[in-house]
Structure formats: structure tokens, C-alpha cells
Chains A and B, each alone.
Chain A
Amino acid sequence: QIQLVQSGPELKKPGESVKISCKASGYTFTDYAMNWVKQAPGNGLKWMGWINTQTGKPTYADDFKQRFVFSLETSASTAYLQINNLNIEDTATYFCTRWAAADFDYWGQGVMVTVSS
């Protein structure tokens, strides 16, 4: 069955970096783009952008162009989200989600990133 399995929770200090993973299984990884969605505590969903799993080209939403990096390890069917120079406002759950046409049909379980001094 199709699964997106994300890495575990992270506790970081301001200024540090974090890299979280999203391992896909049950389908051909390069057939579908991968998106990232942020959910701050008690808040709604915010689309961060997507990465073309065939070319590796990332596209970032306006609020996520500066410190955020999407990458792939295609041989391992894994997508990554790296956040540099973390600040308190980055405290959130980050979801990877598969893009089927324009719909997010499968989601990872989410990774809670906590930024605290």
C-alpha cells in the first residue's frame, strides 16, 4: 500500500538547522510530485511548495523562499525538507504530501519541529 513515512520529532535551538525526511513506498516515486505543508500549533495548514521528483526542481511559496530547501534522494524514494537558521516561528508540524494532479492524496504522519532556547 502507498505510504509516506516521515522522520521523528526534532528539538532545536534558534539558529540551528534541521533536515526532515519523507520516505515513499508503494508507488513509483518519480511519478508524483511531493509537496510540503506547515501547521503551526493550533493553526491551519499552509502550503510551503513542491519538488518535481523527476527533475529535482523545487518551487517555494513566497513565505518559504529564504531558509527552506527541498531535496530528493531518488534512489531511496525519499524527499527532504531542510530549514536553516531556525527561529521560534518555525515551531510546527511539517507534512509531506503526494500531489496527484492538483490534489494531495497521500500524506505523511507529520514531523513536529520544536524550536526553543
Chain B
Amino acid sequence: DIQMTQSPPVLSASVGDRVTLSCKASQNINKNLDWYQQKHGEAPKLLIYYTNNLQTGIPSRFSGSGSGTDYTLTISSLQPEDVATYYCYQYNSGYTFGAGTKLELK
């Protein structure tokens, strides 16, 4: 099974900061990776699909990149409404979520 490791587990940042969340796969996943945002008490929401494609309706401050085993979600200017837990998810071989990065305001 492919393991997905997200770092850091918790990230504190200030409004306006550029924020980078990382996700590392235990083997090459060929860019078959999505990012989901889950706010407290809500269902997850698809942000980015196939590594770098912005889902309809998602603000352009969110972007994704990566290849091979290493992937990144970037928020160019953190907004208060971005406080959430972010999960990466691979579908290259089986279907696996990372453990999440909890993004907090400093």
C-alpha cells in the first residue's frame, strides 16, 4: 500500500502569509494526487485535482505542484477562512489519504 506523509502536522501562520503544505508518497504516484480542505464540523471539499488543477469555485490563492513522490499545496496569501485541516489523497495505486495538516492562525 502507498503511504502518504503530510508535513507539518500543525502549521501556524498569519493572515497574508504564503503557506506551503507538503505531502510525500512512499512511491511514485505519477501526479495522481488531490488536495481536500476540511473545516471543523464540515465535510471535506475538493481544492486541487491531479496535482495542480484548481477545482471550480476555489480561490486562485490556492495552487498545487509536484511530481514523483513529492507534492505541495500553496496558499499565496492566507485568509482567516482558510483555517482548516488539509488532506492529500493519492489514487495512483489504491486510494489513500494523508493524515492531514492542521492550519491555524498565529
Q: Which residues of A contact B (CB under 8 A)?
A: 37, 44-47, 61, 95, 97, 102-105, 107-110
Contact = CB atoms under 8 A, between A and B. Distances in A.
Interface in B70-104: 85, 87, 89, 91, 94-100
Contacts of A97: 43-44
Interface residues of B, number: 23
A97 B91 CA distance: 15
Interface of B: 32, 34, 36, 38, 42-46, 49-50, 55, 85, 87, 89, 91, 94-100
Given A95-B43, A104-B36, A105-B46, A44 B95 contact: no
Interface residues of chain A: helix, strand, loop or mixed (majority) = strand
Given A102-B32, A104-B36, A44 B46 contact: no
A47 B96 contact: yes
Nearest to A62: B1
